[in-house]
Amino acid sequence: MTALEASVPVDLRLDGDRLRVSGAPEAVASATQILTRMRDAANDGATLTPDDVTLAARDTLAAKAPTAHPKTIFTTPRGKEVRPKTSGQRAFVDAIAANTLTFGIGPAGTGKTFLATTMAVRALRAREVQRIILARPAVEAGEKLGFLPGDQKEKVDPYLRPLYDALADLLDEGAAAKLIERNTIEVAPLAFMRGRTLGDAFVILDEAQNATREQLKMFLTRLGANTKMVVNGDVTQIDLPRGVRSGLLDVPLLFSEIADIAIVEFDEADIVRHPLVAKIVGAYARSGER
């Protein structure tokens, strides 16, 4: 109730087995539409969270066409249901399921990494692939990697931490560690992909905006038999040195007409972190336009 009242200017009150909604007629109509969607989802067995209410309210208030509550694509060992919550997320999940290569391009907080990793773990659990390979450029380390303390793993792990975090959300900590130890799940810098053929795998490249055109070409051409590949990035957060062009910028021009390749572009409406994140991203976008 609190999540709905925070999103729509109405007052909710339980009266026995009835929920009374009061406020301006337009607000009451919106709240009723949201509550109906939540009721239908609950009747279908979905476990609802305040975030589900907030995102449904966002769609309703933006006058988007009503859609069915998204289906659960994965349930974690702790019982948490993973669902694509926005239209962009649903398009991304559908594209991954239907295509060999999918690009997810959009701002931070849209769930690109988490959803791609979820689809990878689901494919592994269903024995559709034999392994998962997660890669990310270690741009900040650059040529200075050798001067960092520790062995090779300790040097690059800080840059791969978001991928480990996604795995930790989806698997028991012990299970994730065992799969990594057996190389069933491999988490590695992009540079480690050179010269390999990645077959029978679900391969994800994260933060691809920090890969050059040559690096991205190298990665994409690793594609082997029975392999699904997802490439994620945000072209507004390129950390490459001045004068070095991101390979992700060329993706729409190069691949938009090729069958079995999907390009899904996210926007502010797909941000599912704290509501302020969408406003922060929007503020930076407007500043860039000016």
Residue 68, domain member (yes or no)? no
Most confident residue range from 20-24, 37-41, 58-62, 94-98? 94-98
Question: Which stretches of 13-151 are DSSP H helices?
Answer: 25-43, 50-61, 87-98, 112-125
Residue 67, domain member (yes or no)? no
Same domain, 196 and 137: yes
Same domain, 247 and 282: yes
Residue 262, domain member (yes or no)? yes
The Cα diameter of the chain in Å comes to: 68
Q: What is the mean pLDDT of residues 111-135?
A: 95
Residue 158, domain member (yes or no)? yes
Same domain, 36 and 151: no
Q: Check residue 78 and give its pLDDT.
A: 85
Residue 93, domain member (yes or no)? yes
Provide the token pair at 242: 């001045």
Q: Check residue 214 and give its pLDDT.
A: 94
CB 172: neighbour CB atoms within 10 A? 12
Same domain, 85 and 174: yes
Among 40, 61, 82, where does a domain finish? Answer: 61
Give which of 290, 268, 270 is closest to 280, Cα–Cα.
268
Provide the token pair at 96: 């991954």
Q: What is the mean pLDDT of residues 164-192?
A: 88
Same domain, 147 and 6: no
Domain of 171, CATH number, reads 3.40.50.300
Residue 175, domain member (yes or no)? yes
Residue 151, domain member (yes or no)? yes
Parent domain of 51: 2-61
Of residues 164 and 246, more confidence is placed in 246
Same domain, 57 and 86: no
- pLDDT for 153 beyond 90: no
Residue-wise pLDDT for 226-274, tens only, equals: 999 999 999 999 989 889 999 999 999 999 999 999 999 998 888 876 6
Contact, 200 vs 70, CB < 8 A?
no
Length of the chain: 290
Mean of the per-residue pLDDT values of the chain: 83
Give which of 24, 28, 22, 36 is closest to 66, Cα–Cα.
36
Among 39, 61, 83, where does a domain finish? Answer: 61
Provide the token pair at 64: 């988007």
Residue-wise pLDDT for 12-57, tens only, equals: 888 777 888 888 888 888 888 878 877 777 777 667 777 677 777 7
Among 61, 87, 102, where does a domain finish? Answer: 61
Same domain, 161 and 277: yes
Same domain, 131 and 37: no
DSSP 161: H
The count of domains in the chain is 2
Same domain, 111 and 233: yes
Percent of the chain's residues with pLDDT above 90: 42
Q: Which of 7-16, 153-162, 189-198, 270-279 has the lowest mean pLDDT?
A: 153-162
Contact, 175 vs 156, CB < 8 A?
no
* Sequence-distant (≥ 6) Cβ neighbours of residue 2 within 8 angstroms: 50
Contact, 97 vs 230, CB < 8 A?
no
Q: Please name the residue that has the structure tokens 């539409």.
A: 33
DSSP 223: B
Helix, coil or strand: residue 187: strand
- pLDDT for 203 beyond 90: yes
Same domain, 141 and 49: no
* Sequence-distant (≥ 6) Cβ neighbours of residue 132 within 8 angstroms: 117, 120, 121, 123, 124, 179, 184, 185, 186, 201, 202, 203, 204
Same domain, 123 and 205: yes
Same domain, 56 and 84: no
Pairing of strands 74-75, 18-23: unpaired
Residue 69, domain member (yes or no)? no
Model confidence, pTM: 0.77
